[in-house]
Structure 1
Amino acid sequence: MRCMTPGSDRRIFYGDMLAALALATLLALVWSVRDWHQLAALRLTDTDDAMRLQQIRDWLAGQSFFDLSQHRLAGGMPMHWSRLPDLVPAGLILALTPMLGRHGAELAAVIAWPTMLFATALLLAARVTRQLAPDMGSVAVIVMALAYPATTVFLPGRIDHHNFQIVLLLATALALVRPATWRSGSITGIAAVASVAIGLEMLPLLVAAGVWLAIAWIRAQPGADRRIRGYAVSLAAGLLVAGFGLRSDQWGYPACDAFTVTFFRAAIAAAGGAAGIALCARLTPSPLPRALIAIGCGGVATACAVAAAPQCLSPYGEIDPVLAHLWLTRVGEAQPLAAAPLATIIGQAGLMLAGIGAAAWQWRRTRDDRWSALLLLQVTALGVTLLQMRGAHLGAPLAVPALAATIGAARRRNAHWALAIWPAAAGIVYPLAAQALPDPTQARAGSAPPVASCTTPEALAAIAALPPGTIMAPLDPGPYILAASAHRVIAAPYHRNNAGNRASYDFFLGSPPAAQAVARRWHADYVLLCDDSLAELTPAEQPKDAMLTRLRDRRPPAWLVPIEMRSAGVHIWRVR
């Protein structure tokens, strides 16, 4: 390994930082120009981004920092989110409003915040790679910039928490491959606390990181005692601080789907396992007794966590079975990988699989245990992806260090080998290559013409022009309507909204008399249907006399009065 002086290391760090910032800014500019029509109207990419923007607006308008309910959704729906991802965008909006006006400040914030996170992710990927392959940091910046599908969560407008989670994941990976010290252990613990305070999507990978620290301690690796103590202290202290400082008004919600008191009990019990190992760190240097201690502490901690919060065994167990069947099991990112077409599997998981192969080869070639840390995280991300495809967003950035290092190894052997490996390391290649494969979903769709959406900027402007009221609509338009207008909505794609979402399906799949009863019970003023609404339902799930069928055929019952809309794709009726 090349000898590094403090001065040269600083120069390399600043060089990586400059490269990351320049590349992130350039790509953000290109993406912003491409999507300007949508961005300029603050019609953000995803429903969660739209809802996040509205949550920030509500906070800046006076809603309590600790109140995470959306009061214009289903009469007041407790969100399973955190204030942490709101802090920087809200600060940017406050700082820029005097100069740019409110709309301009919001536009600048939704572009700047993902760009800042993207630059941080590029820099962290370079730093992880330099720990393992010192000359390949610059290559890692490029590979990370191409790391589809992870790059999609850094697009301008992506202000929801998934990009923040990827940054914390890369920070965890960096702490694992750095020299074993109290500091590296504490960084791992702090990143874990910040991650679970934001959301629980990364929990399996955080557990894997803790397991790897325990294995390193069992093997009595140099510095492992100090690192496990730093991890245990920061994890326990961080959870306590977060439990008091980030305790929302929804803290007592009886589910394990967010940083609630239920999850907090389980997390404290699990942190007790790390604390037990830390307390026993100096008792013996022998692997066998250490293994028994780790297994004992882990087993007791797991049992205590299950006893303290059995809901965590089924975090979505309270969802309505009808909603689980008609909606949640059809959410794209919640699908198991094996259920997807081959083209989707290649596009979503191709880079992750290439990264696992590269990391395994690097571990075998170098016998460097730090590669095993990354490999364990990657395999865990693959396991998550096999259950839910959203795991691919976590696996892609973890593939970057191994692929960059493999390019370096190939370059030292033969320049032609490096050129051959580059396509495998460029994540954007996989979805492009997958387009050459037949897509059975498109084949089933046949040659049906495309339909207009009612969440375009023009459609949302037309909806916003109506007098404020309560809208009965399918789930997906809900967040966009909230962010673009003063209307209230009954349904939105969030699993806690059992009553409102069930009401939406009961309305559209029910008979006219049943639908009228639902509309009256929820005090609906308008009914909204888009040309692309509920397209995922099979013909057998749409009764012939259902409201959905009648409204599509423009045969509304007498208690619905059509409202003429200027925007294509939007059909709205006033409830008498």
Structure 2
Amino acid sequence: MSAPAQPTARPIPRIEPSTILWALVILGVVTMVPPADLWATIHHLRVPDTDDAMRLAEVRDLLSGQGWYDIIQHRFLPPAGVPSHWSRLVDAPIAGLILALTPLAGRSLAEGLAAVLWPLLLFGLFCGVLHRGVRTQFGSRAAVLALIVATQTFGVTIQFAAGRVDHHNVQIITMIGLAFCMIRGGVRSGLIGGGLAALSLAIGLEGLPSITAAALFLMGDWCLRGRPALPLLAGFGLGLGLAAPVLFVAQTGPEHWTTTRCDALSPPWLWLALGGLLLTVCAVAAGERLASVRARVTLAGLLGVILLAGFAVAFPVCLGGPFPDMTPLVRDHWLLTVNEMASLPKLVARGQWEALVFYPVVLFATAVATGMAWRGERRRAWAVTALFLWPGLILGLFQFRGLYIASGFVPLVAGAVLDRALRSDAGRTELPRWGVALLGGCLVSTLWMAPAVVAETLMPTARTAPDPAGAIACRSEAALAPLETLPAGTVLAPIFMGPAILLHTPHAVVAAPYHRAIPGLTAAIEGLGGTQADLEQVLTRFGVRYLVACPARPADDLQPESAFATRLAEGTARSGRLERLDLPGPLKVWRVVPDPLRAGGDRAG
């Protein structure tokens, strides 16, 4: 009698490595934005930064009927207002989202949903550009690894967080798109890359150093290689030279076409963009007459001298940078106190150890890209990547915001390095497999949280930077809600509160953190940081109706003793011109009494 047949064991399903990697991408995206932040942005219009609040205020004005070419924020330093240096090209899609969502959710909720959806949609576009470019150069696995690292790169995720409606995220996308166009080559890629460069300039000038480096690279490549490099240079020159004026006209009223603006796309920067178009026309027209390196270098040098000399003669005011009108007082007590303008030594000196999650990954990425361009495979891809990383790293040492665009290239480098660590031939490279994996780990900024936390724990007294929690609390919707119940008027408040007041209340403001409003910045610094006479002079000069203080973030003292406004907030001083209003919340609010006969002296309370 035969033994019964044993049941056949079912094979354990094999999970493909690519499935695991894509699952990690989904996990990274899902956990990138905390649910509490989504809720706060949707229901309370909480945004990460003052610039996001100002952007939404601009969008709201546009939807309320303000003209397309009217870029003045009329509630900022009224009655004249302050012209914005931002682009309507970013206002428009956000406004479109709000219009589309309003019938479904109502206006208030539509604004919050748009503030969440816009950066998430942009992150999807960034991931699409990143995946396609890395896959073409380094393979599918490297592309997926790059996406995973993108969700862990703080320099990227903070620019695509809920409520991040500022323009830096769009500039990251345009610059990484330009880089992939330069790597691919050809007239079509050049045209697209030039158009992306023009779009970046139209949105803001933060990408100017990267675009300048790209233009010099393309010109140098043509000087050295001649005809093979001409299609890409020609396409870039045509794309930039034609698109920049079109975008300028699209967002600038005719009355301002001849106005020089050092901080936005205007005649000085159009002059340089058209110079690229001129070089392209000359290079194509000359043809074989530029067969030698010497001839090409001579032409490029001659046109370069003409461009720079013309710029210096026609627009000398812009030779000193984008802030030609800034006074030392405003520079010292506002500009240099802003985190994005802080240098690395200053961040370290103030104990802001969170810088460790931003700087090291850009440094390692720059070193890897440079080394691979020097001696590795796919040298052009690595050279172009290094080209965009170096300006960001160098500028980032002096201004934190220099890291914004460079951070977008970190996932590209990390994806390629981690893919090499997983390859079967990884051990036959200069570094052993574990060394390549360790290098890849150094490119993941979340891993740098560990030393940042250790430093914060071991050296808590080293932190001298102001606690951001106090400022965040003072500009929240809940803190500003009591102000909304007051009759509309002009408010003198700390500079950082200006955009939030414009967004959450009907009031006008004297000051907000923008360099085109030097009188307002000066008034806030002197009024809130000076004597009683300084404050009362500002109240009178700007027709201020309400004085608002954030006790958690007093103004800088401009004299040895505490500022009068600070003592008001502490309750140790009083003024007959200021009537204290009993409002709930963290803010201290006074109504300005217009009758000068009621003015009293500074006395102890």
The alignment's TM-score, normalised by the length of structure 1, stands at 0.90
How far did 1:455 drift? 1.2
Matched-pair contact (CA < 8 Å) for 1:472–1:504: yes
**Which digits, 9 at most, give the CA deviation of each residue in 1:39-79, with x for residues without a partner?**
42112111010010010110111000011110000011111
3-state DSSP class of the match of 2:237? helix
Match of 1:12 in 2: none
Q: Distance in 1 between matches of 2:468 and 2:34?
A: 27
Matches within 5 A, 1:219-230: 219-220=224-225, 223-230=228-235
1:368 counterpart = 2:379 = yes
How far did 1:271 drift? 4.6
Q: Distance in 2 between matches of 1:103 and 1:127?
A: 37
Judged with a 3 Å threshold, the aligned counterparts in structure 2 of structure 1 residues 446 and 259 are, in CA distance, closer, same or farther, namely closer
Q: Distance in 1 between matches of 2:318 and 2:287?
A: 29
How far did 1:554 drift? 4.3
Match of 2:493 in 1: 473
Judged with a 3 Å threshold, the aligned counterparts in structure 2 of structure 1 residues 42 and 301 are, in CA distance, closer, same or farther, namely same
How far did 1:151 drift? 1.4
Match of 2:62 in 1: 59
Q: Distance in 2 between matches of 1:432 and 1:276?
A: 55
**Which digits, 9 at most, give the CA deviation of each residue in 1:121-169, with x for residues without a partner?**
1122222222321231111111122122221010010011010111111
Match of 1:190 in 2: 195
Matches within 5 A, 1:313-392: 313-314=319-320, 315-341=322-348, 343-363=353-373, 364-366=375-377, 368-392=379-403
Match of 1:298 in 2: 304
How far did 1:112 drift? 0.8
3-state DSSP class of the match of 1:45? coil
Matched-pair contact (CA < 8 Å) for 1:266–1:308: no
Q: Distance in 2 between matches of 1:427 and 1:449?
A: 22
Match of 1:162 in 2: 168
**Which digits, 9 at most, give the CA deviation of each residue in 1:518-548, with x for residues without a partner?**
201111110000022346x3x6656446333
1:524 counterpart = 2:535 = no
Q: Which among 588, 591, 601 is matched to residue 574 of structure 1?
A: 591
Q: How many residues align?
A: 555
Judged with a 3 Å threshold, the aligned counterparts in structure 2 of structure 1 residues 278 and 257 are, in CA distance, closer, same or farther, namely farther
Q: Considering only CA atoms, is the larger Rg found in Structure 1 or Structure 2?
A: 2
Match of 1:548 in 2: 566
> Percent of counterpart pairs with the same letter?
29
**Amino acid of the structure 1 residue aligned with 2:309:** A
Q: Distance in 1 between matches of 2:252 and 2:470?
A: 43
Judged with a 3 Å threshold, the aligned counterparts in structure 2 of structure 1 residues 201 and 170 are, in CA distance, closer, same or farther, namely same
Match of 1:264 in 2: 270
Gaps (5+ residues) in structure 1?
1-14
How far did 1:426 drift? 1.2
**Amino acid of the structure 1 residue aligned with 2:587:** V
Q: Distance in 2 between matches of 1:216 and 1:262?
A: 26
How far did 1:214 drift? 1.2
How far did 1:277 drift? 3.9
Matched-pair contact (CA < 8 Å) for 2:146–2:411: yes
Which shifted more, 511-520 or 494-503? 511-520
Judged with a 3 Å threshold, the aligned counterparts in structure 2 of structure 1 residues 564 and 144 are, in CA distance, closer, same or farther, namely same
Q: Distance in 2 between matches of 1:451 and 1:482?
A: 19
Q: Distance in 1 between matches of 2:469 and 2:127?
A: 37
Runs of 4 or more off by more than 6 Å in structure 1? 18-21, 446-450
Q: Which among 44, 49, 52 is matched to residue 41 of structure 1?
A: 44
Which shifted more, 293-302 or 104-113? 293-302
1:94 counterpart = 2:104 = no
Which shifted more, 414-423 or 83-92? 414-423
Match of 2:510 in 1: 490
**Amino acid of the structure 2 residue aligned with 1:512:** Q
Q: Distance in 2 between matches of 1:503 and 1:395?
A: 36
Match of 2:245 in 1: 240
**Amino acid of the structure 2 residue aligned with 1:572:** V
Q: Distance in 2 between matches of 1:450 and 1:379?
A: 33
Match of 2:598 in 1: none
Judged with a 3 Å threshold, the aligned counterparts in structure 2 of structure 1 residues 573 and 42 are, in CA distance, closer, same or farther, namely same
1:436 counterpart = 2:485 = no
How far did 1:335 drift? 1.8
3-state DSSP class of the match of 2:487? coil
Match of 1:201 in 2: 206
**Amino acid of the structure 2 residue aligned with 1:403:** A
Judged with a 3 Å threshold, the aligned counterparts in structure 2 of structure 1 residues 262 and 217 are, in CA distance, closer, same or farther, namely closer
Which shifted more, 401-410 or 347-356? 401-410
Judged with a 3 Å threshold, the aligned counterparts in structure 2 of structure 1 residues 443 and 316 are, in CA distance, closer, same or farther, namely same
Match of 1:406 in 2: 417
**Amino acid of the structure 1 residue aligned with 2:189:** S
1:564 counterpart = 2:582 = yes
Judged with a 3 Å threshold, the aligned counterparts in structure 2 of structure 1 residues 200 and 191 are, in CA distance, closer, same or farther, namely same
Matched-pair contact (CA < 8 Å) for 2:127–2:147: yes
Match of 2:180 in 1: 174
3-state DSSP class of the match of 2:408? helix
Q: Distance in 1 between matches of 2:498 and 2:524?
A: 11
Match of 1:500 in 2: 520
Judged with a 3 Å threshold, the aligned counterparts in structure 2 of structure 1 residues 541 and 148 are, in CA distance, closer, same or farther, namely farther
